[in-house]
Amino acid sequence: MTREAILVKLQEIMIEQDDTKDFVLTEETSLKDDIAVDSIELTEFIINVEDVFNISIPDEDVEDLTKISNLIDYLEGRLAK
């Protein structure tokens, strides 16, 4: 799966989660600063990502996923296995 395809999926997850149709994710989007998600929303987002990509993301890895680019890098690595 390409970076662009992963980004599109992440945007779909975010739109479904927050019902924000006009929101646009970029690789530089910060989950905490730009989207302003709290810890519960971040947990929900990660659970949705796990479901869509059929993977499990350990809690200790979530701490490093502060930007969408970090999450895409992580997903690329996990999906390549």
In order, the DSSP letters of 28-65 are T-BTTTTS---HHHHHHHHHHHHHHHT----HHHHTT-
How do residues 8-19 score in pLDDT, each as one tens digit? Answer: 999 999 888 877
Angle at 29 between CA 1 and CA 60, to 5 degrees: 75
Amino acid code (one letter) for 81: K
Record the pTM.
0.89
Alpha-carbon gap, residue 74 to 55, rounded angstroms:
11
pLDDT band at residue 35 under the 50/70/90 scheme = confident
- Residue 21: which pLDDT band, with cuts at 50, 70 and 90? low
Q: Does domain 3-80 have CATH number 1.10.1200.10?
A: yes
Q: How far is CA 62 from CA 20, 49, 59, in A?
A: 23, 11, 5
